[in-house]
């Protein structure tokens, strides 16, 4: 059985906990519940003939803004960098966090999830912002924990990327 650790990274309120809840339990809640410490969930993903258990680490710092603790990142095979399209600040934070994660654990696959696509007409993050991420070589996906758009696909793509890493 292959088990892989995946960290959920991003500013406070971007939807990290909601994306995991949607993926693992097929639920969504409007209520904001602060994640305390680390919450760990597991789900099996099948890609081709391989079954991979994703061990999802939903991280939260006390200040919950930009903290990433190297000790919590250790051993991660991949991560999801979540941006809340409604808040430009979460975009800037994502760029900052990506650098810090890279410094902490080196280059592992990651996808940037542009979340809250159900409210696309109210986004502060612009198409040119998004183009700038693409130009950096980031892999971008749009989605919504609210209606489930893109969520299965995110974790499937991530698993595929993990399996492509030599000796993964």
Binding site for ligand GDP (CB under 6 A): 10, 12-18, 29-30, 32, 35, 115-116, 118-119, 144-146
What is the rounded CA–CA span in Å between residue 91 and residue 119?
16
Residues 105, 74 contacting (CB under 8 angstroms)? yes
- CB closer to ligand GDP out of 29 and 153: 29
Which of ligand GDP, Mg ion, none is residue 14 near (CB under 5 to 8 Å by kind)?
ligand GDP
Q: How far is the CB of 161 from Mg ion (least distance, A)?
A: 23
Residue 112 bridge partners (DSSP): 81, 140
Pairing of strands 76-84, 50-59: unpaired
- CB closer to ligand GDP out of 2 and 24: 24
Q: How far is the CB of 128 from ligand GDP (least distance, A)?
A: 22
- Compute and round to an integer the Cα radius of gyration of the chain: 15
Residue 3 bridge partners (DSSP): 53
- CB closer to ligand GDP out of 61 and 139: 61
Q: How far is the CB of 139 from Mg ion (least distance, A)?
A: 23
| H-state helical runs in the chain | 16-25, 70-73, 88-105, 127-135, 151-164
What are the angstrom distances between the C-alpha of 26 and each of 43, 74, 112, 117, 168?
12, 28, 21, 17, 28
Q: How far is the CB of 2 from ligand GDP (least distance, A)?
A: 26
Among 2, 24, 35, 157, binds Mg ion (CB under 5 A): 35
Q: Quick check: 17 binds Mg ion (CB under 5 A)?
A: yes
Q: How far is the CB of 125 from ligand GDP (least distance, A)?
A: 13
- CB closer to Mg ion out of 52 and 116: 116
Pairing of strands 38-47, 50-59: antiparallel
* Residues contributing to the site for Mg ion (CB under 5 A): 16-17, 35
């Amino acid at each position: 059985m292959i088990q892989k650790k995946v960290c959920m990274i991003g500013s406070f309120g971007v939807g990290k906990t909601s994306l995991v809840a949607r993926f693992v339990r097929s639920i969504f809640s409007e209520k904001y519940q602060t994640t305390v410490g680390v919450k760990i969930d597991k789900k099996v993903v099948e890609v081709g003939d391989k079954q991979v258990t994703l061990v999802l680490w939903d991280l939260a710092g006390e200040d919950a803004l930009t903290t990433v603790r190297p000790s919590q990142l250790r051993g991660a095979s991949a991560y999801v960098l979540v941006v809340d399209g409604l808040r430009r600040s979460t975009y800037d934070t994502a760029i900052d966090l990506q650098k810090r994660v890279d410094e902490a654990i080196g280059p592992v696959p990651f996808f940037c999830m542009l979340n809250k696509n159900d409210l696309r007409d109210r986004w502060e993050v612009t198409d040119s912002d998004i183009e700038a991420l693409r130009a950096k070589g980031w892999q971008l996906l749009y989605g919504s924990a609210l209606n489930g758009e893109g969520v299965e696909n995110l974790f499937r793509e991530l698993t595929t990327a993990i399996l492509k890493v030599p000796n993964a």
